[in-house]
Amino acid sequence: MLRAEPLKMRLAHSLPTTHPVHPAMQHFADLARERSQGELDIALFADGQLGQEVDLLSQVQAGKLDFLKVSASVLERFHPAYKVLNLPFTFRDRAHWLKVTSNEIGSDVLGSTTSKGLTGLTFYDAGARSFYGRKPILHPDDLKGMKIRIQPSETMVKLMQLFGAEGIELSWSNVYVALKSGLVDGAENSVVALIVGKHAEVATHYSFDEHTMIPDVLLVGAGRLNSMTPKQREIIREAAALSYHHMNKLWTAFEAQTRLQVEAMGVTFVKPDKAPFIAKAAPLADIYAGEEASRTLLRRIAQA
């Protein structure tokens, strides 16, 4: 009996191979290949080789690209459920984040964009996002008048306005130059960005306000998934779920290592009182969780 030709597919993302999400997704691809006995052949393209994540979404919808890793921040324009995930201080801590992203709440959010041609397979830990730059941020007032690099997200634009700052939407590949040239005064990301993006070379202070815990999302084109056999779809979903757990282990180790490296490079860590940040950001929940479905999702997350 002749073996079927392998189904060759592509998975793209914009981060370097040194970022822990890359080996997590390679684990996903390896598992899919092994469990399908070579039928599912997924090749990874890192470092924005195929384009920036936000620009590749339409290619996934059109069936020209099979898989894509994006930040949940860019998915809020496809479904309001992602706006809820992107709201500041939605998650109490990492344990709460892990609980939500691994239960039925997370599954509901992942499936929310299928009608738009984008099916979420799993979340990946991207850490807690905090502010960093050339000066310490100890209070929201310290952000007044600053230009802060943010991901493409209406929610983040509004959050910066509430803090008195200006949100500058830039792709990941442009952040280092923007910080170095002074195009932006600071940025907001996990501490991992200081090493992976070399931002520790151009930022001297990192403030652990931890205003958001926005996950990354592994997407597959809904059309591509539907074109597979039931067994192949089962393998893809199982491989994605296992890569979620693999990523959690990778992230924990990498983040701890990164903190030590960043401190050795001379970056000063500060831990501000979160209460003033929480108070300033509170109106966003009323703005973006106004619909009943969004309020219900926010309650479900809070009660998890």
Q: What is the DSSP letter of 199?
A: G
Under 8 Å between Cβ of 56 and 65: yes
pLDDT, tens digit (0-9, with 9 covering 90-100), for 132-162: 999 999 999 999 999 999 998 999 999 999 9
Q: Do domains 7-125+214-260 and 129-213+266-303 have the same CATH topology?
A: yes
DSSP letters spanning 71-110: EGGGGGGT-HHHHHHHSTT-SSSHHHHHHHHTSHHHHHHH
pLDDT higher than threshold 70 for residue 1: no
Fold annotation for 7-125+214-260:
D-Maltodextrin-Binding Protein; domain 2 (3.40.190)
Q: Provide the pLDDT confidence category of residue 4 given band limits of 50, 70 and 90.
A: confident
Q: Which residues neighbour 6 within 8 Å (Cβ) at sequence distance 6 or greater?
A: 38, 39, 40, 41
Instruction: Indicate the Cα dihedral angle 295, 297, 300, 304, nearest 10°.
Output: -130
pLDDT, tens digit (0-9, with 9 covering 90-100), for 215-230: 999 999 999 999 999 9
Q: Write out the two tokens for 165.
A: 């700052």
Sort strands 7-12 and 186-189 into parallel, antiparallel or unpaired: unpaired
Under 8 Å between Cβ of 171 and 192: no
pLDDT, tens digit (0-9, with 9 covering 90-100), for 5-60: 899 999 999 999 999 999 999 999 999 999 999 999 999 999 999 998 888 999 99
Fold annotation for 129-213+266-303:
D-Maltodextrin-Binding Protein; domain 2 (3.40.190)
Sketch the domain layout of the chain as residue ranges: 7-125+214-260, 129-213+266-303
Whole-number percent of the chain with pLDDT over 70 = 99
pLDDT higher than threshold 50 for residue 285: yes
pLDDT, tens digit (0-9, with 9 covering 90-100), for 92-147: 999 999 999 999 999 999 999 999 999 999 999 999 999 999 999 999 999 999 99
Beta bridge partners of 67: 11, 220
Q: Write out the two tokens for 67.
A: 């898989």
294 three-class SS: helix
Distance between CA atoms of residues 147 and 184, nearest Å: 5
